[in-house]
Structure 1
Amino acid sequence: MTARTPPLPLAEAQARLLALAPTIPVEWRDVMQTAGHYLAEPLHARRNQPAAPLSAMDGFAMRAADLPGPWRLIGESAAGHPFVGTLGTGEAVRISTGAVVPPDADMVLLKEDSAIDGSTLHLDGTAPDPTERHIRPRGMDFGEGAAILPRGWRIDAAAIGLALAAGHERLPVHRPIRLTVIDGGDELAAPGIVPGLHQIPASNGPMLAALAARLPVVATRIGPVPDTLDALIAAFEAARDADVIVTSGGASVGDHDLIRPALTAMGADIAFWRVGIKPGKPLLVARRGDQVILGLPGNPASAWVTGFLFMLPLLRAALGATEPLPRAIMVPLATPMGKGGSRMEFLRAHWDGATVTLDRLQDSGALSPLARSNALIVRAAGAAPAPAGSPVPVHLTGID
């Protein structure tokens, strides 16, 4: 793989990277500690929900066969306090939302469709149609043994609620990934050091670690690492226990780009190098045993875009996600766009909920467009000019 080797198409590069995803052990965690993880096994319900028929409204429970009434009120069923007697012909009980419907009842008459005279209840409106309309049947949400979430499902707040309702206190997930982020370059000034005119603050490492923090990851940062072979090899050796190493800078072909020589010196296998995208062409992927090493470009926009397109999908795949790649949606352009370049482009843009606007500054060394943007416009190589209103594929970068 030399500089003359054609860059890989994006889809092929992503597929080859995901095939290298490390195997992360499975552990059982308290449900409340699983947000952001992916299920390592399918989830089945251990109970019925609801366990008994419940009223969906405030009103009165009765037998539909007794319509049109009247009925004699003999008690009440409240949420958490079911009616314990027997409901006979011409009898009804007051019932609240979420309360158990008495076994002999098959209809709930709404409070606003009724009138009470002493202990006698009268129909004063319209009976429900169908008569069981306001009753949530046993197992309406899910039945015992039902498959409720598949393997690889990302656990969010709703999934946590579902797991608990289904009778689960612990869930099987992959342990958090051990990630090491290495910043390299003589031009980088460490945090707390005022940079000289020849330096810039080391920002890529913290940025990439923050990007990875969307997922169950324990991130360690190393650097800035000087542009020497010995320093880089020492940094890689310090990260031997990491599942994934991500570097920023040094993956190209310049005299001071030493990531490839360092990896080769350590006996790592270079899986591929260079991808046909802009920004982010000089991307490198290697493997050392079970450890995956992802060499990202040093320009901040290039590092962020390749982190979004490669680092996050790799981490998701290792954590068990069945759909680790980001999805694009079609969004209308707010302003026209010119012809596409020679490579597939990922353009920083802002989505306002209806349209997407290309940022005026697209230089790969600029951070301000990243901070202003919440979307990436995907532009195919050689794409024709697009007028305002044209739908274009967009990655919403603020949404996982």
Structure 2
Amino acid sequence: MALLPVAEALKHILEAANTLETEDVGLRDALGRTLARAVEARVDNPPFDASAMDGYSVRAEDVAQVPVTLKLVGEAGAGQPFSGKVAKGETVRIFTGAALPDGADAVVIQEKVTADGTTITFRERADRDDNVRPKGQDFTKGCSLLEKGRRLTARDILLAAAAGHGTLPVVRKPIVALLSTGDELVEPGTPLARGQIWASNSFGLAAVVEAAGGEARLLGIARDSLESLSQALDSADGADVLVTIGGASVGDHDLVRPALEKSGAKLDFYKIAMRPGKPLFFGARSIGGTRQHCLGLPGNPVASLICSRVFLVPLIARLLGRDVPLEAIDAVLGDQLPVNGPREHYMRARLDLSTSPPRAMPFKNQDSGLITALQRADCLVVVPVDAPAQPAGTAVKVLKLDI
């Protein structure tokens, strides 16, 4: 079976996914969630003409010529408006944020007056709307504030609250079940026997899932037997995506695909033209009438995390109804690259953003066993299939690791 190009594999995955259902959440739970519908303002902001300063509200025509003396007839504070109307020759003491009294159309700051009981002498003239924030200056009722598909930030939540929303409609978080497989694996923090390694992948991938907006569910470790794998696969009920880690190749102990197919999964593809990450598959199965996406990642930690950035993160984005965050950026090589082979190579690198265009420095050693190199990297240089040797300064595409 020919190796599937990365772009074709990603196309298969995205075409199979649809946006999940909507739920309402309170503002305190909205950070990082994805808007299911556009959000409109429920009120004007400010909802009334408001004073922008501490001072005295006046009719601008009364202070067109200064100095002039007006009679103090009351006070307006934030949340405590003046109940009367400012008539000719009158003024009302006002504080920042207070509603402008009826009849007034300007505010003179307190430093520009002299107060003597109820006699206020103005030393500076004012024009209409001076030191006034007019009703609807920021936004008006019914206007669109936040677009559908937006990932909510602290600033968005502030705006939504100011617009009168106590809850927001968001897309339900995709539940991503993560299953590690392999006789050699033990949980991190437990003693290692000879031949064993710690199961690190599921913890790194859980962080990827949650950074992308999903909810990670760790299913533990399945052993290299159909019985153990079948039991573990049964525990993935309710997940939107099942991610298996390891056992995706064709060795005697690589039983994940047979176990999945036995559970009813139909695989769209396996093996892709990608380095690292050749043993990767994708498909789906039905659990209780609900479609569950099945993504098989390599067991190698570096390959697993890189493949999650290329395939799992876009899948989560599609389930959330977001733009797929896979777009590579333009950069130039900071060092030469050798001839590439028949698989698209995702090379760990550091990106220097101080230059224009940015400069990508691929690591000399791209051994997929080097987890420390992955930790030091902040991007992946995408080298096309069968690319010739490339000198420093060559234009390349770069995929940022952090999302």
**TM-score, scaled to structure 1:** 0.84
Partner of 2:80: 81
1:376 is paired with a residue whose SS is: strand
Distance (whole Å) between structure 2 residues aligned to residue 316 and residue 252 of structure 1: 27
CA distance in 2, matches of 1:7, 1:340: 21
Per the alignment, residue 325 of structure 1 pairs with 325
* 1:116 Cα deviation after fit: 2.4
Report 1:10-21 matches (<5 A). Answer: 10=7, 12-21=8-17
State the Cα deviation string for residues 177-222 of structure 1 (Å, max 9, x = none). 3321011122222334322342221100111112212255443223
Cα pair distance change 1:372/1:95, threshold 3 Å = farther
Aligned to 2:367, which of 348, 363, 366?
363
Distance 1:63 1:344 in 2: 73
Residue 323 of structure 1 aligns to a residue whose secondary structure is: coil
Question: Does the 8 A contact of 1:340 with 1:379 survive in 2?
Answer: no
- Tell me which residue corresponds to 1:99: 98
C-alpha contact 2:106 2:126 (8 A) present in aligned 1: no
Percent sequence identity is 36
- Counterpart in the other structure of 1:116: 114
Equivalent position amino acid for 1:49 in 2: N
Distance 1:255 1:48, change over 3 A: same
C-alpha distance in 1 between matches for 2:129 and 2:329 = 41
Identify which of 220, 224, 236 aligns with 2:221.
224
After superposition, the Cα gap between the structure-2 partners of 1:95 and 1:337, relative to the gap in structure 1 and judged at 3 Å, is farther
2:108 and 2:130 in contact (8 A); partners too:
no
Cα deviation for residue 111 of structure 1 reads 5.0
Q: What does residue range 193-212 of structure 1 map to in structure 2 within 5 Å?
A: 193-212=190-209
Unpaired runs of 5+ residues, structure 2, are none
Higher mean alpha-carbon deviation, 86-95 vs 300-309, is at: 86-95
Q: Is the 8 A contact 1:73 1:94 kept in 2?
A: no
Q: What does residue range 1-400 of structure 1 map to in structure 2 within 5 Å? A: 2=1, 5-10=2-7, 12-21=8-17, 24-65=20-61, 66-69=63-66, 70-72=68-70, 74=72, 75-111=74-110, 114-116=112-114, 118=116, 119-124=119-124, 132=129, 134-289=131-286, 290-318=291-319, 320-330=320-330, 335-338=334-337, 341-342=340-341, 343-351=343-351, 354=354, 357-381=361-385, 382=387, 385=390, 387=392, 393-398=397-402, 400=403
Alignment-mate amino acid for residue 367 of structure 2: D
DSSP-derived class of the 1:362 partner: coil
In 2, Cα distance between equivalents of 1:340 and 1:97: 67
Q: Deviation per CA, 1:51-108, whole angstroms, max 9, x where unpaired? A: 1122334444333334243352624433233333322335444443322223333333
Change beyond 3 A, Cα 1:73–1:350: farther
TM normalised by structure 2 equals 0.83
Gap runs ≥5 in structure 1:
none
Length, aligned pairs only? 388
CA distance in 2, matches of 1:384, 1:104: 78
What code does the residue aligned with 1:54 have? A
**Shift in Å, 1:37:** 1.7
CA RMSD of aligned residues (A): 3.0
CA distance in 2, matches of 1:255, 1:383: 36
Give 1:165 shift: 1.9
Amino acid in structure 1 at the alignment position of 2:295: L
Structure 1 residue 250: Cα displacement: 1.8
Task: State the shift of 1:292 in Å.
Answer: 0.3
User: Partners in 1 of 2:242 and 2:254 — Cα distance?
Assistant: 17
> Cα–Cα, structure 1 residues 344 and 77, in superposed 2: closer, same or farther, change >3 Å?
farther
Name the aligned partner's letter for residue 309 of structure 2.
Answer: F
Shift of residue 230, structure 1, vs aligned partner: 3.1
